[in-house]
Amino acid sequence: MPPLQLFDVVDKKRCLQALSLMNQRNSFKKKFLSGWIQEDGASMKGTKERLDQIQSYLHKLSISNFELPVTYSPSKNDKNGEGRLYAGKEISLQFLPRDLRNFLIADKMVDIDIVNAEPSIWRFLCDRLNISSPYLNEYCKERERILSENGLKKQDIIVAMNRDTNYDRKNTWWRHFTKELLDIKRDIVKKEKLVSPEGRNPLSRAIYPLVRKYERILVDRAMTPYKANNSLRVPMFDGFLVEKSGYNNIQEVNSSVPVEMREFVKFIEKPIVAPEVPEEATESSISEAGVLPTYQEAKEDFEKNFFRVDNPLGLYYETDGAIQRISNQDINIHTSHIKIRSFDELSSKWKVVPITKSWLEDPNKRKYKGFIYEPSSQENVVHTEYYNLAKPFHIYSDRRLNCDADISNFKSLLGNLCGDREEEITFLTRLLGRKVFSPNENLQTLGIFFGTNGTGKDTLFKILMKMLGDRRVVSLDKLDGLFGNDNASLVQDADIININEVGTAKTKEYMDSMKDLLTSQNITLRQKFEKTKTVKNTKLLFYSTNNVVKLEAKDRRAMVFNSGNRLVTDIHPDIKEFWNKIYSDMEDPEWLNTVFDYLMDIGKSALADNWLPSQNIVASEIMSDWKESSTPLELQFLHHLVSTIDPELCESEEERVSARMFHQYYCKGHRRIKSRNLEEIWGLYFNHLKNSGHFPYFRKLTSEVKKSNLSITYRKHKENGKKVGYYYLEPKEISRELIEYKLVDF
Q: What's the predicted TM-score (pTM) here?
A: 0.42
Least confident among 102-111, 194-203, 285-294, 629-638: 285-294
Q: Which residues contact 432 (CB under 8 A, 6 or more apart)?
A: 464, 599, 602, 603
pLDDT tens, residue by residue, 652-697: 788 888 889 998 999 988 899 999 999 999 888 887 766 544 567 7
Pairwise CA distance, residues 176 & 152, whole Å: 14
On whether the CB atoms of residues 196 and 203 are closer than 8 A, the answer is yes
Beta strand 446-450 with 540-545 is parallel
Helix-then-strand count for the chain, H and E: 28, 24
Amino acid at the residue 695: F
Say what the pLDDT of residue 594 is: 93
Beta strand 239-243 with 85-87 is unpaired
Give all strands of the β-sheet with 722-728 in edge-to-edge order. Answer: 672-674, 722-728, 713-719
Burial of 584: CB neighbours in 10 Å, binned 0-12, 13-18, 19+: exposed
Pairwise CA distance, residues 236 & 550, whole Å: 61
pLDDT tens, residue by residue, 461-485: 999 999 988 888 888 877 666 776 6
Say what the pLDDT of residue 154 is: 86
Pairwise CA distance, residues 523 & 536, whole Å: 6
Cis peptide leading into residue 312 (ω within 30°): yes
633-643 and 675-685 are packed helices; what angle lies between their axes, rounded to 10 degrees? 110
Q: Which residue from 500, 492, 422 is spatially nearest to 461, judged by alpha carbons?
A: 500
Alpha helices in 192-201 (DSSP H): none
Predicted confidence (pLDDT) at residue 25 exceeds the cutoff of 70: yes
Say what the pLDDT of residue 267 is: 94
Predicted confidence (pLDDT) at residue 626 exceeds the cutoff of 90: no
pLDDT mean over 250-259: 93
Q: How confident is the model at residue 117 (pLDDT cuts 50, 70, 90)?
A: very high
- The number of C-alpha atoms within 13 Å of 547 and in the hemisphere containing its C-beta is 7
On whether the CB atoms of residues 603 and 434 are closer than 8 A, the answer is yes
Pairwise CA distance, residues 324 & 315, whole Å: 9
Q: What percent of the chain has pLDDT over 70?
A: 83
Q: How many CB atoms lie within 10 A of CB 345?
A: 6
Phi, psi of 166 (to 5 degrees): -115, 145
Q: Which CATH number fits domain 397-624: 1.10.3470.10, 3.40.50.1000, 3.40.50.300, 3.30.1540.20?
A: 3.40.50.300
Q: How confident is the model at residue 352 (pLDDT cuts 50, 70, 90)?
A: confident
Distances (CA, A) of 79 to 1, 193, 216: 12, 18, 15
Least confident among 92-96, 121-125, 294-298, 524-528: 524-528
Pairwise CA distance, residues 534 & 546, whole Å: 33
Q: 71: helix, coil or strand?
A: strand
Amino acid at the residue 436: V
Query: What ranges do the domains of the chain cover?
Result: 4-106, 117-209, 292-367, 397-624, 631-740
Q: 72: helix, coil or strand?
A: strand
Highest mean pLDDT range out of 254-263, 445-454, 468-477?
Answer: 254-263
First vs last C-alpha separation in the chain:
67
Spell 53-78 as b/e; 16+ CB within 10 A means b: ebbebbeebeeeebebebebbbbeeb
Q: 100: helix, coil or strand?
A: helix
Phi, psi of 354 (to 5 degrees): -65, 155
Helix (H) or strand (E) holding 719: strand 713-719
